């Protein structure tokens, strides 16, 4: 049976401190932590603390605009904090064809090496 998209994910456990994470930024709305399986020297995930139906970007509603902006702005803050002044990449994977594996929206920030385009 498939998991309902509004079910809790491993990221709720990270928000609730039930499992550890290497947190690099936190405020009342968002949490940023290092990816457990990094694809670049810097690989950070930024998530809303409350999912509010945002299992992925494709589920966004008008009410999510503020948190979506907050996620992107946090990507900028984290990139600066990580010293990625040469550039970095921001990714949101959505759905099976987008290789999404955790259904709690998250922004990847990748940097510290040359990125390639197209990404493949």
- Give 46 or 67: the residue with its C-beta nearer to ligand 5GP: 46
Does residue number 97 form part of the binding site for ligand 5GP (CB under 6 A)? no
| Rounded Cα gap, residues 114 and 50, in angstroms | 33
* Cβ burial, residue 119 (10 Å; 0-12/13-18/19+): exposed
Catalytic (active site) residue 106: yes
The residue within the footprint of ligand 5GP, chosen from 25, 49, 93, 112 (CB under 6 A), is 93
* Cβ burial, residue 30 (10 Å; 0-12/13-18/19+): buried
Count of residues near ligand 5GP by CB under 6 A: 13
Which residues form the catalytic set? 106
| Interface positions with ligand 5GP (CB under 6 A) | 10, 21, 33-37, 45, 93, 99-102
């Amino acid at each position: 049976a498939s998991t309902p998209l509004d079910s809790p994910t491993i990221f709720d456990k990270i928000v609730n401190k039930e499992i550890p994470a290497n947190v690099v930024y936190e405020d009342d709305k968002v949490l940023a932590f290092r990816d457990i399986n990094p694809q670049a020297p810097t690989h950070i995930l930024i998530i809303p603390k409350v999912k509010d139906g945002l299992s992925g970007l494709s589920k966004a509603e008008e009410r999510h605009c503020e948190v979506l902006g907050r996620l992107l702005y946090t990507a900028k803050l984290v990139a600066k904090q990580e010293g990625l002044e040469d550039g970095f990449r921001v990714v949101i994977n959505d759905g099976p064809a987008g290789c999404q594996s955790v259904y709690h929206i998250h922004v990847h920030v990748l940097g510290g090496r040359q990125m390639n385009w197209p990404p493949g």
